[in-house]
A and B are shown apart, each in its own frame.
Chain A
Amino acid sequence: MNPAEEIKQLFPGSVVSTGIQTNKPLAIIKKEDLLIIAEKVKEMGFDNLSLITGIDYRDRFEIIYNFFSYAKKQNLVLKVILDHNNPEIDSLESHWKVADWLERETYDLVGIKFRGHPNLKRILLPDGWIGHPLRKDYDMTVDQFVTIGEDGEDIVSTDGSNLLRR
């Protein structure tokens, strides 16, 4: 029995639907029950969290978690659908330590906030960057420049006159 069907049996209220995503079992769940389902998933033996992806469709956000189990050699995909105006979800950092940086990257580039994360700051872009680049409404015509401030940290501004020569 594939793992998505197992989860649907154990938590019938939380699972919206199950299916197959290009030969991996997929389960779409509600965002309030993410933590309890995550504990059960970890207990089922899925100890490798491969990927956390955030996608911006124009009317909603989606987060996709990909899991793999070394012992049983099975895959599992969990998908959560979020509201477009206020994308927030619980953090999985307490169960899988790799979620620490993967969630920071999703916050940085897509703009989804994770509750309960110990250190939710930008990781790939400097701290003061304006906007989240991977959203579909990011303005690519505005150029932002970085200079170094007094204490060695980055200062971001749209005016690059003290950096550029021409």
Chain B
Amino acid sequence: MKTEELLINMGPVHPSTHGVLRFKLIMDGEIIKKCDIVMGYLHRGTEKLGEMKTYLQFVPYTDRLDYISAFPNNYAYVKAVEELAGIEVPLRAEYIRVLTLELNRVVNHLVMLGSLLLDLGASTMIMYGFRERENALQLFEMLCGARMTFNYIRPGGVREDLPEGFMPKLNEFIKDMEYRIDDYEQLISGNEIFMMRMKNIGVLSAKEAISYGMTGPSLRGHGVNYDIRKVEPYSVYPDLDFRACVRNECDSFARYMVRIDEMRESLHILRQVVDSMPEGKPTSQAKYGIAPMTGAPTAVSTYFPRIFTPPPGEVYSRIEAPKGELGFYVVSDGTIKPYRIKIRSPSFCNLTAIPKMVEGLMIPDLIAAFGTIDVVLGDVDR
């Protein structure tokens, strides 16, 4: 019987592609033979815009890269600028930054679990996930006034100190979250249908995963113990006690379990940060670079100057974002605007592994494997 290969387009407008991503699938019946990914439907030209704005004016653009977890994006860029310019940050600001980063990691994994299960057909987890997320977003709103695009971590420290009433509410959130994670595990992990759809789907060996540039929780599901917070520590992570979560079976179920473990570790880190928050100033008060614009008030300014010039040079700095290794390569030529900013985004590099992972699977398996890689289109297309 003669059969033909079919070209099926899972187009940019699709409920399960987490945004505007297009798959061109060459199928033999129900089995995928080759998968081509076409992207660029959300390419907004962030890197070119970076050359037209000053260092501080670029921080809101970094919020909109990985819009679900915006604090790590802010922090990766600000860390690169601070390394380039040699700015010292007070200790209290570092603790506040770590607090926001870990809280954002919990929020990110909740959204990932919710949308993964929504793609598989279960709509309970996304309701639970967004309910917890509302509590966390109210905490963020207390801190900086915005729910999703924060613009809070600036060169020199953070924008404002913690408001009153923040710590008791945060403690309540942490206590609440622990019971909820146990709830979710009971709901999902032992579910027969979930296990059948996730075990042995999307298998890649560890060597191949490293060669395809995977990083972050997706790589730790393949048994490679690489967590930037342990290998090249930054900020106050050397003083905190936590472990990197690794699983050894290289399939989608392992990548999912790593994220449940990471949520628990983040709550553990949050408790340590709350207990040992030092006193001090939230931004650096150093006078740096050229003076701020004319017309500035004569009283002592409490913020780091808005316009400053780092010395000419280049730097690449990376952090452990909830999705993987997020890095910024900043080139400065001694003026108030950067010469070139290049963004190494985790979703773009994790996505290179999908065509290899789904050969021989069916379309529902593609959706399950793709959901565990945790891709956000703002990061892929920039």
Contact = CB atoms under 8 A, between A and B. Distances in A.
Interface stretch (B41-49, B113-121, B193-201): B41-49
Interface string B32-54: 00000001100101011000000
Given A64-B329, A98-B212, A101-B352, A51 B342 contact: yes
A124 B40 contact: yes
B327 A55 contact: no
A97 B211 contact: yes
B232 interface: yes
B226 A70 contact: yes
B316 A98 contact: no
Nearest to B211: A97
B325 A50 contact: yes
B71 interface: no
Interface string A82-121: 0000000000000011101110010001000000000000
A98 B213 contact: yes
Interface string B340-363: 101010001101100000000000
Contacts of A77: 316
A51 B83 contact: no
A49 interface: yes
Contact of A22 (B39, B313, B318): B313
A24 B349 CA distance: 22
B314 interface: yes
A158 interface: no
Interface string A20-60: 01101000000000000000000000011111010100000
Contacts of A97: 208, 211-213, 352
B224 interface: yes
A166 interface: no
A24 to B, nearest CB: 7
Contact of B232 (A66, A73, A96, A102): A73
Contacts of A160: none
B348 A101 contact: yes
Contact of A152 (B9, B213, B232, B316): B9
A161 to B, nearest CB: 22
23 contacts: A21-B315, A22-B83, A22-B84, A22-B313, A47-B211, A48-B215, A50-B316, A50-B318, A50-B327, A70-B210, A70-B231, A77-B316, A96-B211, A96-B213, A98-B211, A98-B213, A101-B349, A101-B351, A102-B213, A122-B40, A124-B382, A125-B43, A133-B45
A38 B284 CA distance: 42
B213 A24 contact: no
A66 B47 CA distance: 19
Interface size class of B (residues with CB under 8 A): 35 or more
Contacts of B226: 70
Contacts of B318: 50
A12 interface: no
Contacts of B84: 22
B213 A49 contact: yes
A155 interface: no
Interface of B: 9, 39-40, 43, 45, 47-48, 83-84, 208, 210-213, 215, 224, 226, 231-232, 313-316, 318, 325, 327, 329, 331, 339-340, 342, 344, 348-349, 351-352, 381-382
A22 B213 contact: no
B40 A98 contact: no
Contacts of B349: 98, 101-102
A134 B318 CA distance: 23
Contacts of B351: 101
Given A47-B210, A98-B211, A125-B43, A21 B314 contact: yes
A100 B210 contact: no
A98 B315 contact: no
A51 B346 CA distance: 11
Contacts of A47: 210-211
Nearest to A152: B9
Given A47-B211, A51-B316, A134-B47, 18 more contacts: A21-B315, A22-B84, A49-B213, A51-B329, A55-B339, A66-B329, A70-B224, A70-B226, A73-B231, A96-B211, A97-B211, A98-B211, A101-B349, A101-B352, A124-B39, A125-B43, A133-B45, A133-B48
Given A97-B213, A98-B349, A66 B316 contact: yes
Contact of A134 (B48, B224, B232): B48
